[in-house]
Amino acid sequence: MKPIPKQLGAAQATSLTRRWFLRECGVGLAGIAATSLLAQERPAATGSTRRPHFAPKAKSIIYLFHAGAPSHLELFDPKPELARNDGRLPPAELLQGYRAAFINPNSALLGPKYKFVRQGRSGIEISELLPHTGSIVDELCFIRSMHTEAVNHAPGQILMNTGSQQFGRPSFGSWTLYGLGSESADLPGYVVLTSAKGTSGGASNYGCGFLPTAFGGVPFRSSGDPVLYLSNPSGIDARAQRDSLDSLQRLNQMALRDIGDPEIAARIQAYEMAYRLQTSAPELMDLSREQRSTLDLYGIREVNESSYARNCLLARRLVERGVRFVQLFHEAWDQHGDLTRAIRANCDQTDRASAALIKDLKQRGLLDDTIVIWGGEFGRTPMVQGGNDGRDHHNRCFTIWLAGGGIRKGHVHGATDDFGFNVVDGAVHVHDLHATLLHLLGLDHERLTYRFQGRDYRLTDVFGHIVTDVLA
């Protein structure tokens, strides 16, 4: 053991002696923290990787989260019987035990506002509002039997993204980064892009919860610095900044050795990541070097104009650079009224770019190991709201689609009844979806755990089954 320093006052000597003893004898907070880190085999940084539980089918995820609850009845789940019963009251047996969010459950039925068209070799029916998505239907797997407990936007979004309606749980992206790390040393392992309105669930949709902050999603802005205060202030050159960071890192390293708090390690990583971002982020966000044909594919007219299309192209560029998890939030789908006009406008803004992302990833050989998810937090009622042109929230069934690494192509999983009200075959809960996606990343959802406040937590809590029917 090292000798105890003598040139100290009495109070300092008592404090330092205690810290010296705990540190040098390998017990205390530093030793406990180190032991905990080793026991959980946590990656040293988000810029490093960790071995999955088994051979993965995919290594990255792009989650196109269409917040506000897109209507499955106008987009993905054709219901001719609902169309034939437009304006009639729903069957009494359909509504037994049912509680609506905002409308009288006995409201009249509302037939689909748009036609469905068979597309591709698979012949999957999809809305006329989505011609571009229709052109890639043979790459997609539709899950028409999703269901959830939540009936309002904030809890529904948080449940869909964290596996719980409670605030403070780690997001799906954070669990993925915690389990696998990132292949990018110069960009965050989990990046968040937003368009349209802000989500009801806010930062809880991409937060790290009780996981170390290094695993949280990092929001990138659409204009200016991608991250606030990324540029150096006037009078600070690169050398002065590097010297300041080196001094700060030495102080943080001293505190880390004395205290052993993993959050100090996360702080060190954050400073170094911010430094590297000053070079990597501007290059990432500069779309001027993309070919005109690529910009046209996504429907991007102005490279600096903030839009869902721009975010889709940025998502491809991010996974291309080794980012593990990219999430796009586009909240625009809450059509309690004005459904016919508004949902067409939504599709005009998003259809081309969503399809372009799949085509672009495939063309570059990235789709084989990237999973793309398209979906919201729940569906819409087959009963009318807002006069004669709106639908209420509906959690009993809704549709999402998947594409990419390990996903079955040109396939429809699950089914709902004739009115799109209840799941009648192949029900998939949020926990089942998460378990399946983690499986494709090579992670066992029952083994991916983090101990917090005396118990082991996981993304799927104590639930979740792998949906084998959607696997290639």
b/e string for 253-290 if b means 16 or more Cβ within 10 A?
Answer: eeebebbbebebbbbbbeeebbeebbebbeebbebeeb
Whether residues 24 and 103 share a domain: the answer is no
Q: How confident is the model at residue 443 (pLDDT cuts 50, 70, 90)?
A: very high
pTM to 2 decimal places = 0.85
* Count of CB atoms situated within 10 Å of the CB of 39: 9
Which of 157-171, 173-187, 255-269, 444-458 is the least confident region?
A: 255-269
Whether residues 66 and 25 share a domain: the answer is no
Whether residues 101 and 147 share a domain: the answer is yes
Structure tokens, 442: 């090579």
Domain that holds residue 13: 1-40
State how many domains the chain has: 2
SS3 347: helix
Structure tokens, 28: 């205390």
Which residues, in sequence order, are bridge partners of residue 380?
393
Identify whether 108 is part of a domain: yes
Cα 268 from chain centroid?
Answer: 25
C-alpha span between 242 and 176 (Å, rounded): 31
Whether residues 342 and 370 share a domain: the answer is yes
Mean pLDDT of 322-347: 97
State percent of the chain over pLDDT 90.
70
Identify whether 31 is part of a domain: yes
Structure tokens, 433: 């979806």
pLDDT in tens, 172-191: 999 999 999 999 988 999 99
Contact indicator for 25, 409 with CB cutoff of 8 Å: no
Which CATH number belongs to the domain containing residue 203 in this structure? 3.40.720.10
Whether residues 436 and 345 share a domain: the answer is yes
Q: How confident is the model at residue 33 (pLDDT cuts 50, 70, 90)?
A: very low
State percent of the chain over pLDDT 70.
85
Whether residues 358 and 305 share a domain: the answer is yes
131 pLDDT higher than 80: yes
Whether residues 307 and 441 share a domain: the answer is yes
pLDDT in tens, 191-239: 999 999 889 999 999 999 999 988 999 999 876 677 765 666 666 676 7
Identify whether 377 is part of a domain: yes
Q: How confident is the model at residue 88 (pLDDT cuts 50, 70, 90)?
A: very high
41 pLDDT higher than 50: no
Mean pLDDT of 236-249: 72
Identify whether 22 is part of a domain: yes
Whether residues 451 and 354 share a domain: the answer is yes
Identify whether 241 is part of a domain: no
Identify whether 63 is part of a domain: yes
Write the CB contacts of 328 (distance below 8 Å, at least 6 apart in sequence).
62, 63, 64, 65, 193, 194, 195, 308, 311, 312, 315
**β pairing state of 140-147 and 398-404:** antiparallel
Whether residues 196 and 59 share a domain: the answer is yes
Whether residues 29 and 124 share a domain: the answer is no
15 pLDDT higher than 50: no
Exposed/middle/buried for 222, CB within 10 Å: 0-12, 13-18, 19+?
Answer: middle
- What pLDDT is stored for residue 35 in this prediction? 32
Contact indicator for 20, 43 with CB cutoff of 8 Å: no
Identify whether 252 is part of a domain: no
Whether residues 172 and 107 share a domain: the answer is yes
